[in-house]
Structure 1
Amino acid sequence: MDKKTPPTKIDTSAKKRRFVFVLLPQFTLLCFAAAVDALRIANRMAGKEIYSWTVTGEGGDTVSCSAGTQFKLDSDLPELSRDDTLMVCGGIDVQDGTTKRMLNWLRREARRGLRMGGLCTASYTLARAGLLDGKKATIHWENQDSFAEEFEDVILTKSVFVVDGNRMSTAGGTSSIDLMLTIIADDHGEDLANAVADQLIYSSIRTDQDTQRLSVPTRIGVRHPKLSQVIHMMEAHVEEPISPSVLASEVGMSTRQLERLFRRYLNRSPKRYYMELRLQKARNLLMQTDMSVINVALACGFASPSHFSKCYRAHYDTTPYRERGSHATRLSV
């Protein structure tokens, strides 16, 4: 403890809490590091150890994050205490790390009644274990489409993080900080949480009401209310696309005016922009789910597999079947 930094006043009635971080292969380093560092700083600012943590994973040896750095694990999926808080850390290709043994272990530990969270893409792992059924949850925006298709019993949100009873989830990246600050505030008060945020130079603490993606105007670099409104409608109706004439009518424009608006600001027609949105969702589903190509086509508003394949090839220079095959080959190497 730095002598110039006096301990922050905390709620001394709260018990010391242990976090168990489960690192899946190819986990995202930022989501893990942000969570651990928030706990470390909380201890420093409190002037005593109010949080401890251990790192585990299947095999109990080492695991690599998506950046390639290897981490030494403390144990191999141990038996936990009911008072522990378990955090699963996911990243790219989370399906590969979601093994039968991992799922069985998570289910066993969940029966003890302990709190569990999924950081970044690890909501997928908790959902596969059936631990998010009937619960609100979130996951990284890139995995939202595939998650929604696979887990109908989970109430998926676009929030930065979600706490629903004894289940927690984050969208990845710095959202781990927001969740940890919420936990610290609940455990020891707002003063300590704010002190931790200051140490992290984290000046804008988000709540579970904040959404994870940038607003449409920020994403496209254009602030035009009618254009944003049309894009919102497109994103909300991928499975059943809306015609340009209906989109134009909804925002009080003619079809020709809508065409000019898209050409001016996005250098493409509304039809082309809509098609790119649908193909991007299709690519996510092909890479992240076991859905058949036909079902992917239907989920993205294509009436026939042949039309879907033709549009996909024109945009990505490969067919949906080859895309899935090459992805599977990369994972098996």
Structure 2
Amino acid sequence: MSQRVEKQSPIEVVVVVLPESSIMSLASVLDPMRAANRVAGRQVFRWRLLSGDGEAPILTCGVPINVEGRFTTPLGGDLLLVIGGFNLHKHAGKRFVATLQECARHFDIVAGIESGCWLLGRSGLLNGRKATAHWEELEDFSQTFPALTVIGERFVTDGKYWTSGGASPTFDMMLHLITERLGPALALDVASIFVYDQMHSPTDVQPFVSLGRIEARDPELAGAIRLMERTLERPLTVAALARRLSISRRKLELLFARGLSISPAAYYLRLRLQVAHRLVRDSAVPIRDIALRCGFDSLSAFSRAYSREYQASPLKMRSLTRGETSLRSEVARGGGGNSLPVSDAG
């Protein structure tokens, strides 16, 4: 796409927000556009907020978002962004996907944010293209949509179809858009407003752990954490970690004690359990598969370690989480048995 530094008329944006989306993902879309208008001193972006059924979607934090109407045809513009979160099957049915397929034809760029990428996948719009998803879902995303080339980058642009793996990558994606459409100077000004000093390119890999300034302050510690991330399925001993990092075991232990007040072994286990915890709560991956993905040779060993960390077995945690999700969905629908399921409306 050629860079267009000036555009006299505002960039027309439609943002579709589904229930149980992240407020941070929504803010990462809206605030860069608001800041760009402020810095430019004119309306360089003009946006509309829509939902699948025209009602205010309730985000994961419980905040309802006022929208201008329902996502329906006819609709067109420069940029269409679809923000999704949990329980897509409840919030975006066949009619929503059909609307997405039709509307996509009338936008220059169509972007799926967080679980919005799954909707682009379901629509067939990404077939034969490169795409990404949140790092927790990359493997499932790839298996579900074999016609896609799934890569673990922060955000991916392939022609008019863009996908983003999370809230922070979405902020990067919006800065990338501002750079392309309005120039790098304005993008830098927008980043500066938010004191955002680590602008990423689309090819930067999604990390499990956001290290912030640790990478600059203590690169050896950062390197150790990145090595742990890469070896979750087959954890190394502390001695093997030290050898791979070309440092002594004693130095590795000092790095973690000084930087994180924890031993390398304890941090490694905690990292594996945190990844497992997200998969238990937020996915349908079988518990046994989660155990293997996170480096546990037996289900019983995984269950014991998980229970010590979270005071509940993986199965009990999943059961509790599903109960909470059902309650949130009922509240989002108004709590009554007289209203239609959201998927019927979308």
When the two structures are superposed, what TM-score results if normalisation uses the length of structure 2? Answer: 0.74
Instruction: Verify: 1:180 aligned to 2:186, yes or no.
Output: no
Q: Is the 8 A contact 2:214 2:222 kept in 1?
A: no
Structure 2 residue aligned with 1:88, among 71, 82, 89? Answer: 82
Match of 1:302 in 2: 296
Q: Structure 1 pair 252/30, CA: closer, same or farther in 2 (3 Å)? A: closer
The match for 1:206 among 199, 206, 210 is 199
> Does residue 147 of structure 1 match 2:138?
yes
> Is 1:156 the counterpart of 2:151 in the alignment?
yes
> Secondary structure of 1:301's partner?
coil
- For the 8 Å contact 1:25–1:65, the answer to whether it is kept is yes
Matched, 1:11 2:2: no
User: Which residue does the alignment assign to 1:232?
Assistant: 226
Q: 2:13 touches 2:77 (CA, 8 Å); kept in 1?
A: no
Give the aligned residue type for 2:47: W
Counterpart contact for 2:32–2:175, Cα < 8 Å: yes
User: Aligned match of 2:285 in 287, 291, 296?
Assistant: 291
**Structure 1 residue 211 displacement after superposition:** 6.0
Over 3 Å counting, the alpha-carbon distance change for 1:275 and 1:162 in structure 2 is same
Aligned counterparts of 1:53 and 1:294: Cα–Cα separation in 2: 45
- 1:1-333 to structure 2, matched below 5 A, reads 11-12=6-7, 17-40=11-34, 42=36, 51-81=45-75, 83-91=77-85, 97-110=91-104, 115-133=109-127, 135-139=129-133, 143-152=134-143, 153-159=148-154, 161-173=155-167, 175-190=169-184, 192-193=186-187, 200=193, 204=197, 206-208=199-201, 209=203, 216=211, 218=213, 223=218, 225=220, 227-255=221-249, 258-259=252-253, 261-263=255-257, 265-333=259-327
Q: How many residues are aligned here?
A: 318
SS of equivalent residue, structure 1 residue 62: coil
Distance in 2 of aligned mates of 1:207 and 1:220: 14
Q: Percent of aligned pairs with the same residue?
A: 29
Gaps of 5+ in 1: 1-8
Q: Aligned Cα RMSD in Å?
A: 3.7
What TM-score do the two structures reach when normalised by structure 1? 0.77
Unaligned runs of 5+ in 2: 328-346
Where 2:110 maps in the other structure, the secondary structure is: strand
Q: Which gives a bigger RCO, structure 1 or 2 (Cα 8 Å, sep 6+)?
A: 2
User: Is the alpha carbon distance of 1:86 and 1:229 closer, same or farther for their aligned partners in structure 2, counting shifts above 3 Å?
Assistant: same
Q: Secondary structure at the match of 1:63?
A: coil
Cα distance in structure 2, aligned partners of 1:254 and 1:178? 37
Cα deviation, 1:221-250, whole Å, max 9, x if unaligned, reads: 97262x433322111011122233322222
Give the residue type in structure 2 aligned to 1:146.
E
8 Å contact 1:81–1:114 — kept in the other structure? no
In the alignment, the residues of structure 2 paired with residue 37 and residue 267 of structure 1 have an alpha-carbon distance, to the nearest angstrom, of: 36
Structure 1 residue 108, shift from structure 2 partner: 4.1
Q: Could you tell me whether the CA contact under 8 Å between 1:217 and 1:223 is conserved in 2? A: no
Amino acid at match of 1:320: P
Kept in 1, the 8 Å contact 2:80–2:104? The answer is no
1:257, 1:297 → 2: CA distance? 30
Structure 2 SS opposite 1:89: strand
CA distance in 2, matches of 1:62, 1:244: 50
